[in-house]
Amino acid sequence: MFGVDRVFGIVKQLSGFRLTESRGKLLLQWQKDGGILTREVERKTSDLIAGLLVNCSDKVLIQKLLLLCAAYDQIEKELLKAGVIASCEMGCNPVYDLDPGTGCLYVPTPFIAGLRSMLGIRDLVGANKEVEIADLGSGLGLPVFLSTLLGFCATGFELSPVLMKATRHIKTVFPDLPELGKANFIEADFFQADLSSFKAIYTFLWDNALREQAIEDLISRMPSGTVVCGYGMTNKSPNGSLLNLIRSESVSGRKISLCRRI
């Protein structure tokens, strides 16, 4: 078993993420063990983000999204190197095994899938900075941070103290992304939380059969009109009578469904 201090220690040793350009190459730089490390950012990643924002004239936003993407990729590499990420037996995405033998697993949201989800929510609610988005089971906080970069107020609910401590530190390691400081994280069971003030809900847990009944109850308590974005949802499950399916698409091997509470 790895504990809070081990995971936090791995993340804490990384700081000062920045993007620089040199001789036509885009480079990610960060501090570690008193030195500066550099690696080239894959062009395909840059192209994917630019492709999603093809009509966006805000080049600064694209740079910020790319920095967040590249840095999170490096954070996951560090966790992998330390042996706290294992291959997912149910798919191709990595898994954080929070307590071996108990089935307590955390599957991080793939960056492109998270960005597509947040852009989908923005399509429905508009670029309204007053809109509050909740990420249910926020893990290491990526979708929440993506929301803040897109201008939303965002709150992540996470029950694991391991992930919460690491996430709170991640907020501090991006000197070029002050927006991340506005992200809010609550260590709590979101099934027990009051979500009535949130206009949009995102989660990566919809296809977990063990939570199906609790999720249906959660949906039933959401106000009419709430935007719900998650994985594996259709107009029949979960509790399809309460959801109007707007659209769905397959991203990173998972189906993202965008719905509205009836």
CATH code of the domain covering residue 67: 3.40.50.150
**How much is the mean pLDDT over the chain?**
82
Residue carrying structure tokens 């935007």: 227
pLDDT for residue 221: 84
Q: What is the mean pLDDT of residues 42-65?
A: 79
Q: What's the average model confidence in pLDDT over 183-200?
A: 91
pLDDT band of residue 45 (cuts 50, 70, 90) is confident
- Position 188 scores a pLDDT of 92
String of DSSP letters for the chain? ---HHHHHHHHHTEEEEEEEEETTEEEEEEEETTEEEEEEPPHHHHHHHHHHTTT---HHHHHHHHHHHHHHHHHHHHHHHTT-EEE-TTSSSEEEEEETTTTEEE-PPPHHHHHHHHHHHHHHH-S-TT-EEEEES-TT-HHHHHHHHTT-EEEEEE--HHHHHHHHHHTTS-TT-GGGGG-EEEES-GGGS--TT-SEEEES-TT-GGGHHHHHHHHHTSPTT-EEEEES--SSTTTGGGEEEEEEEEETTEEEEEEEE-
Q: What pLDDT, on a 0 to 100 scale, did the predictor assign at position 93?
A: 61
pLDDT digits (tens, 9 = 90+) for 137-184: 898 999 999 999 999 999 999 988 888 888 988 989 999 999 999 999
pLDDT value, residue 103:
57
Strands 200-203 and 227-231, by their bridges, are: parallel
- pLDDT at res. 46: 78
Residue type, 225: G
* Predicted local distance difference test score (pLDDT) of residue 236: 45
The C-alpha atoms of residue 131 and residue 256 are separated, in whole angstroms, by 21
**Number of domains within the chain:** 1
Report the pLDDT value the prediction gives residue 108, as an integer from 0 to 100: 80
Residues 6+ apart with CB under 8 A from 94: 76, 80, 85, 86, 87, 88, 107, 108
For the chain, how long is the longest CA-to-CA vector?
Answer: 56
**What is the rounded average pLDDT of the residues 17-34?**
90
Give the model's pLDDT for residue 156. Answer: 96
In this prediction, residue 39 carries a pLDDT of: 92
Q: Which of 185-189, 192-196, 242-246 has the highest mean pLDDT?
A: 185-189
* Residue 154, pLDDT score: 95
Task: State which of 33-42, 212-221, 232-241 shows the largest mean pLDDT.
Answer: 33-42
Which pLDDT does position 48 carry in this prediction? 78
pLDDT, position 237: 47
- 9 is in which domain, residue-wise? 4-261
What pLDDT does 238 receive? 47
Mean pLDDT of 248-259: 80
- The top-scoring range by mean pLDDT among 40-54, 89-103, 136-150, 216-230 is 136-150
